């Protein structure tokens, strides 16, 4: 019997070091490579109050174009559909007689739920999912997933005892496509690309080489809290989020750098940040829907609410705080924000504006080019005090942060954060003035 494979690309938009793709390719006679543009679900529509930004969509398009280019080098091509994954995949199974389906394991609740639904609906189809978005496999962990430590530090110490596996050898073969190129249902126009950040597997490897050919890794710990400049951040998060690079590929590049340039506290800190990402990957896998609940994994009651006018000010960058405004304007324009910046604007959202953290997390989801479900929602929980922070939340003093990280007002001036300041409107959750009769 001829085996017909369907590989579902998601947050693994690469050909290299893609275990799930390799396993499926070795198992089938013909193959369809599929990506599904998924519409916003009801939860995202409720909390984000917006659609994905042009910068975010453009960055994704760049990844899809370069994935298609790399697939063509192996005599394959990418098919793009729009709709829900269960609906699209169900139609493919019925229409093309799919016998085998592969994908990379995703940490998100919806993605896991969709996979389980398809498995239950089509028991005759062989489903195969493999790790590819994390440093370690579930079987590698020195604890059961249910026993994931409640905070990062004890988990990090356990992670550091493990050896990160090397990336796979380069993929040299994919089965021929079942479909003709007439089924290539996408038109990716360069004009729609992100003007600030380039995406895609080809670009990612060129950038990885550039970064680790510089001195930046050796001073990363000293520069990582900057708000702007060249190479102050690794800028690898966008490639990781879309899967143009695997964390194992970055780890391998880091080890090569340390072997030639020497290891120090800064190079360790790059590994440290990869472990933070790893922790939130497993955090999302463990906690599932609780990642999105108001009380977080702690099920803690918070004295925050939703004030539409305040939320609008924060989103637009018109709060009373110039630094917050500048950071939000950068995010809205480019789809990116520094790690320090994210902490500052999230702290303002929860503490100064007293807003429900989920609205901020959902807005980030629609704006960030490096959105990752575990890192985004886990970090927001951490800062709001309903997640893995043993201290119960963080509050960053905005003026102090500005003095430390933008002492000359260069960042605020560049993004015109001081030109859009407005006082906080004192209204209740339905925008009715507080104290009005």
Enclosing H/E stretch for 80: strand 78-82
281: annotated binding-site residue? yes
What is the DSSP track for 261-318?
A: H---HHHHHHHHHHHHHHHHHHHHHHHGGGGGSTTGGGT---S-B--HHHHHHHHHT-
DSSP lists the bridge partners of residue 129 as 103
Length of the chain: 437
Residue labelled with tokens 């108001």: 294
Judge contact between 158 and 149, C-beta under 8 A: yes
pLDDT per residue as tens, the chain (437 positions): 899 999 999 999 999 999 999 999 999 999 999 999 998 876 777 786 788 999 999 999 999 999 999 999 999 999 999 999 999 999 999 999 999 999 999 999 999 999 999 999 999 999 999 999 999 999 999 999 999 999 999 999 999 999 999 999 999 999 999 987 656 655 556 556 777 899 999 999 999 999 999 999 999 999 999 999 989 999 999 999 999 999 999 999 999 999 999 999 999 999 999 999 999 999 999 999 999 999 999 888 887 889 999 999 999 999 999 999 999 999 999 999 999 999 999 999 999 999 999 999 999 999 999 999 999 999 999 999 999 988 877 899 999 999 999 999 999 999 999 998 999 875 655 555 554 43
Determine if residue 335 is left, alpha or beta; phi over 0 gives left, psi from -120 to 50 gives alpha, anything else beta. left
Residue labelled with tokens 């021929």: 176
213: annotated binding-site residue? no
CA nearest to 22, candidates 171, 166, 245: 171
96: annotated binding-site residue? no
136: annotated binding-site residue? no
274: annotated binding-site residue? yes
372: annotated binding-site residue? yes
273: annotated binding-site residue? yes
235: annotated binding-site residue? yes
363: annotated binding-site residue? no
CA nearest to 388, candidates 269, 283, 272, 285: 283
Judge contact between 423 and 416, C-beta under 8 A: no
What span, in angstroms and rounded, lies between the C-alpha atoms of 126 and 79?
21
Helix runs in 169-226, H state only: 201-212, 220-223
**Pairing state of beta strands 4-9 and 126-130?**
unpaired
What span, in angstroms and rounded, lies between the C-alpha atoms of 270 and 234?
8
Q: What is the dihedral of CA 132, 136, 137, 141, to 10 degrees?
A: -160
Q: What CA–CA distances, in Å, run from 47 to 156, 294, 315, 358, 364?
A: 32, 11, 13, 7, 11
182: annotated binding-site residue? no
117: annotated binding-site residue? no
Judge contact between 182 and 76, C-beta under 8 A: no
Question: Which domains are present in the chain?
Answer: 1-132 (3.40.50.620), 134-167+200-291 (1.25.40.80), 298-419 (1.10.579.10)
269: annotated binding-site residue? no
257: annotated binding-site residue? no
Backbone angles phi, psi at 79, to 5 degrees: -105, 130
What pTM, to 2 d.p., does this model score? 0.94
C-alpha radius of gyration, the chain, whole number: 22
């Amino acid at each position: 019997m001829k085996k017909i494979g369907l590989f579902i690309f998601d947050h693994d938009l690469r050909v290299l070091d893609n275990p799930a793709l390799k396993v499926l390719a070795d198992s089938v006679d013909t193959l369809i490579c599929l990506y599904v543009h998924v519409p916003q679900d009801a939860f995202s529509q409720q909390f984000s109050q917006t659609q994905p930004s042009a910068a975010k969509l453009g960055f994704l398009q760049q990844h899809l174009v370069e994935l298609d280019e790399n697939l063509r080098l192996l005599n394959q091509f990418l098919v793009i559909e729009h709709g829900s994954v269960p609906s699209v995949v169900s139609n493919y199974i019925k229409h093309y007689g799919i016998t085998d389906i592969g994908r990379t394991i995703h940490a998100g609740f919806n993605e896991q739920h969709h996979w389980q639904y398809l498995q239950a609906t089509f028991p005759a189809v062989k489903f195969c999912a493999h790790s590819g978005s994390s440093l370690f496999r579930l079987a590698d962990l020195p604890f059961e997933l249910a026993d994931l430590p409640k905070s990062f530090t004890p988990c990090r110490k356990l992670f550091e005892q493990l050896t990160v596996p090397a990336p796979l050898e380069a993929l040299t073969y994919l089965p021929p496509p079942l479909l003709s190129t007439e089924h290539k249902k996408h038109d990716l126009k360069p004009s729609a690309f992100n003007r600030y950040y380039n995406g895609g597997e080809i670009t990612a490897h060129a950038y990885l080489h550039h970064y680790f050919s510089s001195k930046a890794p050796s001073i990363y710990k000293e520069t990582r809290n900057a708000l702007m400049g060249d190479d102050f951040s690794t800028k690898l998060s966008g490639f990781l989020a879309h899967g143009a690079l695997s964390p194992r590929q970055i780890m391998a590049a880091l080890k090569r750098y340390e072997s030639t340039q020497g290891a120090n506290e800064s190079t360790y800190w790059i590994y440290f940040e990869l472990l933070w990402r790893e922790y939130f990957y497993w955090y999302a896998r463990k906690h599932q829907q609780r990642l999105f609940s108001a009380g977080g994994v702690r099920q803690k009651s918070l004295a925050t609410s939703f004030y539409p006018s305040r939320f609008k000010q924060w989103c637009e960058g018109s709060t009373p705080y110039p630094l917050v405004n500048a950071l939000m304007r950068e995010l809205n324009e480019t789809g990116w924000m520094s790690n320090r910046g994210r902490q500052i604007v999230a702290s303002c959202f929860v503490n100064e504006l007293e807003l429900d953290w989920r609205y901020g997390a959902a807005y980030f989801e629609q704006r960030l080019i490096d959105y990752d479900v575990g890192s985004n929602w886990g970090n927001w929980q951490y800062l709001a005090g309903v997640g893995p922070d043993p201290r119960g939340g963080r509050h960053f003093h905005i003026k102090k942060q500005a003095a430390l990280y933008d002492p000359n007002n260069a960042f605020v001036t560049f993004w015109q954060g001081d030109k859009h300041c407005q006082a906080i409107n004192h209204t209740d959750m339905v925008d009715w003035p507080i104290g009005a009769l």
